[in-house]
Chain A
Amino acid sequence: MKAEHQKIADSFKSSGKRLRIVFISLLILLVIFMVTDVFLGSVSFSAADIFNVFFHKTESPLNTIIFNFRIPKALTALTVGIALSLSGLQMQTLFRNPMAGPDVLGISSGASLGVAFVILGFSGNISVDSLRGLGNWILIAASWIGAGTVMILIMSISSRVREIMTILIIGIMLSSGISAIVTIMQYFSAESMLKAYVIWTMGSLGNLTSDQLNVLLICISGGIVLSLVSAKMLNAISLGENYAASIGLNVKLSRAVIFASTSILAGSVTAFCGPIGFIGIAVPHISRILLRTSDHRILIPGTIITGGIIMLISDIISQLPGSESVLPVNSVTSLIGIPVVIWVIFRNRKYSGVF
């Protein structure tokens, strides 16, 4: 009897130790990639230059590059990675579907419809930029509403249909329907706005104004707090609705919290950086592999760090270190994410339907 208890305690210790090692390594990687992302780019500089920038406060072009471009861009990458990965994790648990993610289920499309309404829908006289601070909030709110609407739609569908593939197909249909609407809007909109919208759809981490970055940081912090609040709920929901309710979970309330958190996280990022694919679906799986747990109190921080790392790597690759040109970050995330997604599909073939 005592021996059995001891055995459980031992397994506890060794798995706790493993977790600590994984977390520390991830944090170190995060710092390394953050620094690398700041110092790699089209303009290269030496270590001595960097030392000067940070410790002598000299006014130089390098100073501007680092503080006005590189650091905000790295911060954006970090935030985007965190937000998309977290929303993907929450959706995968909520739908109990390993293929769920903001882009696959049409949540990002919903957000882009909101954005399209704002960018293309305004008459020629008022542009988003002319609204200054308020414009950013309008943009982000429209994005939330779009994301939230699609989220609720998919949720009501998935309560009737359980097969992953059916839900995915419906998600694709929704996305197609939404892009059809957006195309119609594009057809009727002025050239300048059209251009603004098309550039937005390519996804970019470097085009944010400092106002926008502030708004993004505020929103994502809110989303992270909500997701931490939802950790216990997510654990219960992963058992399935019936079991969740039987252990005392308020299913409707927790759904609302998770919806809000997901829509804010995915919507805010989409509003400012465009639809960035495959981070949301792939990163939660990577962190599950690393952490080997189903406990969201561990998965959430793990996904936050992993998401940040993956997005920073994507950004570093997209800058094509040593060259003048820059790749669209969207393509890089797709190329990183798609193999993970395919791997998950193959691994899940033995489980039919839910995970």
Chain B
Amino acid sequence: MKRDPDEILSFCSLRIGYAEGRKKNALLSPLTASARRGEMIALIGKNGIGKSTLLRTLAGLQLSLGGDITYSGKSIREYSRTDLARTIGYISTEIVKVTNMRVYDLVAMGRFPYTNWFGKIDKSDHEKITDSIEKTGMSSLSWRFISELSDGERQKAMIARILAQDTGILVMDEPTAFLDIGSKFEILHLMHLLSQKNGKTIIFSTHDLNVALSQADKIWLIADDNILDGAPEDLMLQGAFDHLFDSTSVAYNSENGTYSFISENRGEVRVSGEGIMLHYTKKALNRAGFSISEGEVHPFLRLPSGSCRYWQFMNGDSVMEFGSLYEFIKWINAEMPLST
């Protein structure tokens, strides 16, 4: 079979895990998957299943127990340490804490595989470093000490370092793990830009399914001892996510790609209304354990509309009014306690 010229990384029957003396403890059955230039790939799987081990193996930090990894068609065995460092960059969840290290110094470490024995930064290295800092929007912070950065800024500095390393592939182990929502989307946006504009192949692990489904071009899903490889939508159509969590209390909704708790069903409520008001009222009712019904016999909840700014709950002859959903849920919880 002719090789796809844009295929930048592939692995075949790859066995990952740890060798203890002669004994090999493989974590998963042999894995096969590939990545193309400019793709953003999300690696998903349960905790402890071997995501980090796979990423470390791909980055050449850990030997595989079998099988082969190829970068642009050339086996990892033919790469020297330096060549590999020029091909694939790595960011883990480990936080770099070095006293007196400035953002510029950290990014300059990316030039390690290019500099001479003494690590001399010449003019072209300097250009690369300032460029990388600029691409990540860190120019104004380039002279800050990394110990003074916020989590999001530190992650950007780490990405700048990997850019200075000038690799086609970026491997990131949970790049958004510690970040608040704002920084998380900034980092994701940056990753997206790098894959789109600069043609970087980004492989990242995440626990955030929403992020994976919306951002990734491709998903590597580790489940049941194996790796499933495809566009997020393909995997959804195959029902691959249905059994990601072997749990009876979490339900997967394949329509919008979200997980939710399965709470005890406490009854049915008829709701009238439309738009965002309906959406969030339904959400609140679901959370409280009520399902939405169309039947005439069930209690009826009328949403605020027009001049009426109250939720009106009609059960038989009684009518109750509530100023907020919070009050309604509070009342209904007291009225119909959960059977224990």
Q: Which B residues lie within 8 Å of A236 (CB)?
A: 109, 112
Which of B86, B100, B140, B165 is the one whose CB lies under 8 Å from A7? B140
Residue of A nearest to B133 (CB): A8
Determine whether B50 belongs to the interface, using a CB cutoff of 8 Å to chain A: no
* CB contact under 8 A between A351 and B97, given known A232-B119, A246-B90: yes
**Is the pair A297, B61 in contact by a Cβ cutoff of 8 Å?**
no
Of B85, B96, B104, B110, which one neighbours A8 at CB under 8 angstroms? B104
Complex CA gap A354/B139 in Å reads: 28
Contact assessment for B61 and A246 in the assembled complex, using a CB-CB cutoff below 8 Å: yes
Output the least CB separation between A164 and chain B (Å): 12
In angstroms, Cα B117 to Cα A229, docked, is: 7
Tell me the bound Cα distance from A249 to B92 in angstroms.
17
Alpha-carbon gap, A11 to B101, bound state (A)? 14
Interface string of B86-106 (1 = CB under 8 A from A): 101110101011111110111
Which listed residue, A5, A242, A355, touches B90 by the CB 8 Å rule?
A: A242
Question: In the bound complex, what is the Cα–Cα distance between A297 and B133 (angstroms)?
Answer: 22
Q: Is the interface of A mostly helix, strand, loop or mixed?
A: helix
Query: In the complex, how many residue pairs between chain A and chain B have their CB atoms under 8 Å apart?
Result: 101
Give chain A nearest CB distance to B61 CB in angstroms. 5
- A248 CB–B CB distance under 8 Å: yes
The reply to whether the CB of A183 lies closer than 8 angstroms to some CB of chain B is no
Q: Report the contact-size class of chain B (Cβ under 8 Å from the partner).
A: 35 or more
Contacts of A1 in B (CB 8 A): 134
**A253 and chain B: residue at smallest CB distance:** B81
Q: Does A129 contact B (CB under 8 A)?
A: no
The residues of B that contact A232 with a CB separation of less than 8 Å are: 112, 115, 117-119
Cross-chain contact A5 with B94 (CB below 8 angstroms) = no
CB-CB < 8 A to B47: which residues of A?
none
- Which residues of A (226-255) have their CB < 8 Å from a CB of B? 228-229, 231-232, 235-236, 238-240, 242-243, 245-250
Q: Which of B135-192 contact A (CB under 8 A)?
A: 139-140, 142-143, 165
Query: Which residue of the partner chain, among A229, A249, A295, contacts B112 with CB atoms under 8 Å?
Result: A249
In the assembled complex, which residues on chain B have CB atoms less than 8 Å from the CB atom of A235? Answer: 109, 112, 119
Nearest CB in chain A: distance from B215 CB, A: 23
Contact: A242 with B118, CB < 8 Å?
Answer: no
Q: Does A293 contact B (CB under 8 A)?
A: yes
Which B residues lie within 8 Å of A52 (CB)?
none
A334 to B115, CA, bound (A): 40
Q: Which residues of A contact B56 (CB under 8 A)?
A: 242
Q: How far is the CA of A197 from the CA of B100 in the complex (A)?
A: 42
Instruction: Collect the chain B residues with CB atoms within 8 Å of residue A98's CB.
Output: 99
Q: How far is the CA of A135 from the CA of B165 in the complex (A)?
A: 50
A4–B105 CA distance with the chains assembled, in angstroms: 17
Cα–Cα, bound, A221→B110 (Å): 31
User: In whole angstroms, what is the CA distance A292 to B165 when docked?
Assistant: 25
Q: Is the CB of A8 within 8 A of B112?
A: no
A15, B144: Cα distance in complex, Å? 12
Residues on B with C-beta less than 8 A from A228 are 118
Contact of B130 among A5, A246, A288 (CB under 8 A): A5
A91 to chain B, nearest CB (A): 15
The answer to whether A248 and B101 have CB atoms under 8 Å apart is no
Q: Smallest distance from the beta carbon of A179 to chain B beta carbons, Å?
A: 32
A11-B143, A297-B118 as given contacts; A245 in contact with B61, CB under 8 Å: yes
Q: Is residue B82 contacting chain A, with contact meaning CB distance below 8 A? A: yes
Listed from nearest, the 7 A-B pairs whose CB atoms lie closest are: A248-B85, A232-B119, A4-B139, A294-B101, A246-B90, A248-B113, A247-B112
19 further A-B pairs in the complex, CB-CB below 8 A; given A243-B96, A249-B112, A293-B102: A7-B139, A231-B118, A232-B112, A232-B118, A235-B112, A239-B96, A242-B56, A242-B90, A242-B92, A246-B88, A246-B90, A247-B112, A248-B81, A248-B82, A248-B85, A250-B81, A292-B100, A297-B118, A355-B98
Question: Which residues does A use to contact B, with CB under 8 Å?
Answer: 1, 4-5, 7-8, 11, 15, 98, 228-229, 231-232, 235-236, 238-240, 242-243, 245-250, 288, 291-295, 297, 351, 354-355
12 inter-chain pairs at a CB distance below 8 angstroms, sorted by A residue, are A5-B130, A232-B117, A239-B109, A240-B94, A245-B61, A246-B61, A246-B85, A288-B99, A294-B99, A294-B105, A295-B105, A297-B118
Q: B residues bordering A, Cβ < 8 Å?
A: 56, 59-61, 81-82, 84-86, 88-90, 92, 94, 96-102, 104-106, 109-110, 112-113, 115, 117-119, 130, 133-134, 139-140, 142-143, 165
